[in-house]
């Protein structure tokens, strides 16, 4: 097509129109591949998140039975984001720490008792 334009067998307006069509067709052909790539990235992200969740659950289950009452409360504070009650139904939103370095209270609570 470019050769036709260069050899003046095609005018500039026709050349631009045909090039726009080709660009549009290329984008249409590339779209499914981009969608597949996005699905693969989402799948990888999901697999990584699941692996982190499984590691966290395994770590928690290893020592859960040996925790004292206070330690269990501390663990619940680490993973509880918010508790809401609506129409007599409690909803507990939790958060799983992304890694072991982030095992801390997201919202520190004031300590009670003598200082």
Task: Give Cα 87 distance to the centre of its chain.
Answer: 31
Q: Are 38 and 57 in contact (CB under 8 A)?
A: no
Residue 6 has pLDDT above 70, yes or no: no
pLDDT at 103: 52
pLDDT tens by residue, 30-76? 988 889 999 999 999 999 888 888 887 887 788 788 888 998 888 88
Q: Between 59 and 27, name the one with better pLDDT.
A: 27
Rounded to 10 degrees, the C-alpha dihedral 99/105/107/111 comes to -170
CA–CA separation, 12 vs 34, rounded Å?
32
What is the reported pTM? 0.45
What percentage of the chain's residues is helix, strand, coil (to nearest 5)?
65, 10, 25
- Tokens 């050349």, residue? 15
pLDDT at 2: 61
């Amino acid at each position: 097509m470019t050769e036709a334009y260069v050899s003046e067998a095609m005018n500039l307006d026709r050349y631009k129109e045909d090039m726009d069509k080709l660009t549009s067709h290329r984008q249409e052909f590339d779209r499914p591949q981009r969608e597949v790539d996005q699905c693969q990235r989402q799948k990888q992200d999901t697999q990584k998140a699941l692996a982190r969740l499984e590691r966290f659950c395994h770590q928690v289950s290893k020592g859960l039975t040996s925790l004292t009452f206070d330690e269990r409360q501390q663990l619940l504070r680490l993973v509880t984001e918010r508790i809401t009650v609506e129409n007599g139904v409690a909803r507990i939103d939790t958060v799983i720490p992304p890694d072991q370095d982030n095992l801390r209270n997201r919202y520190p609570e004031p300590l009670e008792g003598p200082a």
